Amino acid sequence: MNKLIISLSTIAIGVATLSGCANMSETQRTTATGGAIGALAGAAIGAATGGGKGAAAGAAVGGALGAGGGYLWSQRMQEQKATMEQATAGTGVGVSQTADNRLKLDIPSDVGFDTGRYDIKPNLSPILERFATTLNQNPVTTVNIIGHTDSSGSDAINQPLSVNRASATRDYLVARGVAANRIGIDGRGAREPVGDNSTAAGRAMNRRIEIYVAEAPR
């Protein structure tokens, strides 16, 4: 029993640590946290039904289920993905389903924002217009918008710039009828590069906005 208590405490601490880890991507953080929470819940259920061995088995099953996806990929989510793929064709905006069943829009800042600025460029407007429509058609979803920069400039410049770009995107959607309480924003500055900051092409990849849409199971 003491070992079980220690293990559960370790998992709980791990959840808190993973949630605040700055070196993980958004999808990695969500998947890892889901796995830890699943393990904690599975262990508790297993302990109630099968003691220590039940807790171990429950933790393994719960962890696998939790990491596999804490969100629902419904028909409406699939339709939203198809709509946004059509709306963004040829624009450089990426549309994908994440490992944890969220819809992801990857918007290069060169498409949406001028260098060093956070006002939305005209060529991004029709994409966000269509996106707002799909969000209003599926009001049970939540949205998380994350701004990123390359490593040019200091953190004192990059961090607020990344937040301001996420905020400008949120405000644009809210102005088109999306409820503000559905949308969270964050800025990661240059902390989560996806390209090589020593090259122009890599820096262009790193200057981006990521939008995640999630539908929780009901």
Express as a percent the part of the chain with pLDDT over 90. 61
Looking at residue 9, its pLDDT comes to: 56
Quick one: 33 and 131 in the same domain?
no
Q: Specify whether 86 is located in the same domain as 26.
A: no
CATH number of the domain within which 93 lies: 3.30.1330.60
| Mean pLDDT taken over the chain | 82
Structural domain ending residue among the three candidates 68, 91, 120: 68
* Same domain assignment for residues 92 and 25: no
Q: Are residues 121 and 64 in the same domain?
A: no
Q: Are 83 and 172 in the same domain? A: yes
Please tell me the distance from the alpha carbon of residue 4 to that of residue 17, in angstroms, as a whole number.
Answer: 20
Structure tokens at 81: 């993905």
Looking at the structure, tell me whether residues 81 and 149 fall in a common domain. Answer: yes
Q: Which of 44, 68, 92 is the last residue of a domain?
A: 68
Q: Which helix (H) or strand (E) holds 94?
A: strand 94-97
Regarding whether 34 and 98 lie in a shared domain, the answer is no
pLDDT over threshold 80, residue 98 = yes
What is the rounded distance in angstroms from the CA atom of residue 141 to the CA atom of residue 154? Answer: 35
Q: What is the mean pLDDT of residues 145-165?
A: 96
Residue 102 sits in the same domain as residue 7? no
Residue with the two structure tokens 């079980």: 4
What pLDDT score was predicted for residue 64? 46
DSSP H helices in the chain: 2-19, 26-68, 75-88, 109-112, 125-137, 155-175, 200-206
Could you tell me which residues come within 8 angstroms of residue 145 by beta carbon, excluding any fewer than 6 positions away? 166, 169, 170, 183, 184, 185, 186, 209, 210, 211, 212
Residues of the domain holding 57: 2-68
What is the largest distance, in Å, between two alpha-carbon atoms of the chain?
Answer: 62
Confidence (pLDDT) at 179: 98
Q: Indicate if 7 and 97 belong to the same structural domain.
A: no
> Of the candidates 68, 88, 117, which is a domain's last residue?
68
* 41 CB neighbour count, 10 Å cutoff: 18
The answer on 144 and 113 residing in a single domain is yes
Six-digit token string for 87: 């709306």
CA angle centred on 47, ends 2 and 39, rounded to 5°? 95
On the question of pLDDT at 81 being above 80, the answer is yes
Query: Would you call 51 helix, strand, or coil by DSSP?
Result: helix
CB count in 10 Å sphere of residue 14: 17
**What pTM was estimated for this model as a whole?**
0.70
For residues 98 and 187, membership in a common domain is answered with yes
102 plus 9 within the same structural domain: no
Domain count, the chain: 2
